[in-house]
Amino acid sequence: MSDPVARTGVVLAHGTMAVGLVDAVRHIAGSAADALVPLSNEGLSPEDVQARIEEAAGEGAAIVFVDLQAGSCCTAALASCRACADRIVVTGVNLPMLLDFVFNRGLPFEELEQRLVDRGRSAIRPVSADRTPAG
pLDDT tens profile 5-58: 458 999 999 999 999 999 999 999 999 889 999 999 999 999 999 999 999 998
pLDDT above 90 covers a percentage of the chain that reads 74
Length of the chain: 135
**Per-residue model confidence (pLDDT) at position 20:** 97
Q: What is the mean pLDDT of residues 76-102?
A: 93
Burial of 9 (0-12, 13-18, 19+ CB in 10 A): buried
Q: What is the mean pLDDT of residues 105-134?
A: 87
CA-based nearest residue to 10, from 100, 72, 101: 101
pTM reported for the whole predicted model: 0.88
